[in-house]
Structure 1
């Protein structure tokens, strides 16, 4: 790194500059007489390396860091993560169940288009992370396969919100570790320790308890929500298999940049075949009630913020912290949804949700201990 230099050292290194500055100092002696000579030395900050200078994120981070302390900045990012995650859930629920916009596939396609557009701006213009290219046809096909699984998971999740309350949706979503362990065993033959498998028992027991006592239980909604949770787990396992080599690894934001437009293209024929001429129906709805434009644009924007804040939380804390926050997020989202939508809950349902969350926490701790023992 280049050491900081002072104006005085540069001035003294050049005799001609010394003579001119001396003359200037004599001419302006009346204005500088009251200031000590040492106080007139101006520090010139070290020039950052070329790769850092080319990254706008460096200047953004420096500017933000100068205004906010690290603690305040981290807390703000975590709060934004909570707001975006819970916000997109509540907006989806409001649109699909209460507002009467019954097009979950088209809504998911809007989310993907939004993620593609915002990712392009964040990576190519704001340079939040370095841009990575797809290097081969094989890598492209792998990303396309992940996009298909991603589509299935998100569409099922949005569809389930038409039939289930957010609180029950989040309870089912908390069982993701259970499906991850199953797919890891079936696909990669990876076996976990007995402690890890025992920790998954409360996860399953809690969701069975919550399902039996859920006042607004809907079988189809339950099945598609389970499908969404399983799809999310399958994506994480398949992603670990397909993009394992160093040459094919992509940053999460670059992966989203490629997956989002692929997912939108996959969803387009399905929304046209299943939901009909949804674009014309949306335009007609907007003529009667322009507020839907605000809802759809806001919903799609918040859907991207979920992915952006995911990355920011991991960058400023750790992946483990994100996992812990995710466990707490499910409980917070359930409470907020009950307060807003006033859906009925039972004591047994709340107990089942609590048992599921406890099982997820035990699973995380067991996995962490196994990793420490292995290494």
Structure 2
């Protein structure tokens, strides 16, 4: 194991790499067009998102020091619960009893998984739950602050604007928490291979998300995320030799069923919305043809009167 317990420094390395590469793709190679954004919009929209993103990354990376990889993936199943709850509080989601029951079932499943965790650490759980809360708030703010203003950011332009802001926010705790230890540690040597490949993976993850959502949908991304969590649990159990208890699997299985049902409900609602749009199109087409015929009739009457 590499044994480098500096999550803020690791996150700053990721953000530095992503910001630099995004700058090259946008400003130098011009592969992606930048979004027109005023200073006020940047301060009111991007800065809060960058602050929440930095907190989410900091806490989630810190949780790996205290918890197993498999258990962290189980805790991440609470993300739909957090997003829905915060969306309801911000009045971006309508409260529905069946959806709330679904959210409660997911929470119960995660609680059972936590009860059966062999390496349970209260501080680590608090860090991961905090990361989930900040990430969910960030997603809701993106919808409120950016989508409502007609601005869409793909991961490259998102990193172009958000990564430098996130880096600035991380710099403050890094100065007081990790820099003194790194400064006094004579044994530390920056490994370009390890950190370089790690940063490339972080950037590739953002790009993969963009390509997947662009080719399919955000719902597919959620389903793929659930499959990814199961694969990570299997990988941590078989390769990293994390302890996964039967109670862990039972609890996460219950949470998984809740997440799957939530995704299914979203899919059904999306299909119903598309069906309504298709049903409305013939009516709009008929109204347009009727208006054209009436216009032609009026034109002919005017000609006959002349």
Q: Which residue of 1 aligns with 2:99?
A: 196
Contact 1:196–1:367, Cα closer than 8 Å, also in 2: no
Contact 2:182–2:188, Cα closer than 8 Å, also in 1: no
Could you tell me which runs of 5 or more consecutive residues in structure 2 were left unpaired when the two chains were aligned: 277-306
The reply on whether 1:123 has 2:26 as its aligned counterpart is: yes
Q: Which residue of 2 aligns with 1:111?
A: 14
Alignment of 1:33-52 (within 5 A): none
Q: Which moved more, 1:198-207 or 1:118-127?
A: 118-127
SS at match of 2:113: helix
Compute the TM-score of the two structures, normalised by the length of structure 1: 0.68
Deviations 1:26-63, CA, capped at 9 Å, x for gaps: xxxxxxxxxxxxxxxxxxxxxxxxxxxxxxxxxxxxxx
The reply on whether 1:220 has 2:123 as its aligned counterpart is: yes
Could you tell me which runs of 5 or more consecutive residues in structure 1 were left unpaired when the two chains were aligned: 1-97
Query: How many angstroms apart in 1 are the aligned matches of 2:245 and 2:150?
Result: 51
Alignment of 1:1-375 (within 5 A): 98-188=1-91, 190-277=93-180, 280=183, 284-286=187-189, 292-373=191-272, 375=276
Query: How many angstroms apart in 1 are the aligned matches of 2:135 and 2:53?
Result: 7
Report the aligned-residue RMSD: 2.0
If asked which structure has higher relative contact order (CA below 8 Å, sep 6+), I would say: 2
Distance 1:344 1:247, change over 3 A: closer
Contact 1:178–1:203, Cα closer than 8 Å, also in 2: yes
Query: How many angstroms apart in 1 are the aligned matches of 2:25 and 2:234?
Result: 33
Query: How many angstroms apart in 1 are the aligned matches of 2:22 and 2:185?
Result: 25
Deviations 1:173-205, CA, capped at 9 Å, x for gaps: 121000011101112263243332222232111
How far is the alpha carbon of 1:278 from its aligned partner?
A: 5.2
Query: How many angstroms apart in 2 are the aligned matches of 1:274 and 1:333?
Result: 30
Deviations 1:211-253, CA, capped at 9 Å, x for gaps: 0010000000001101111111111111111113455433342
Query: How many angstroms apart in 2 are the aligned matches of 1:210 and 1:117?
Result: 40
Query: How many angstroms apart in 2 are the aligned matches of 1:323 and 1:345?
Result: 24
Distance 1:361 1:126, change over 3 A: farther
Query: How many angstroms apart in 2 are the aligned matches of 1:239 and 1:153?
Result: 14
Query: How many angstroms apart in 2 are the aligned matches of 1:144 and 1:154?
Result: 15
Deviations 1:238-290, CA, capped at 9 Å, x for gaps: 1111113455433342122110011111111211101133554677421xxx6
Contact 1:106–1:278, Cα closer than 8 Å, also in 2: no
Compute the TM-score of the two structures, normalised by the length of structure 2: 0.83
Query: How many angstroms apart in 2 are the aligned matches of 1:247 and 1:354?
Result: 39
Contact 2:15–2:166, Cα closer than 8 Å, also in 1: yes
Which structure has the greater CA radius of gyration?
1
Number of corresponding residues: 274
Contact 2:155–2:207, Cα closer than 8 Å, also in 1: no
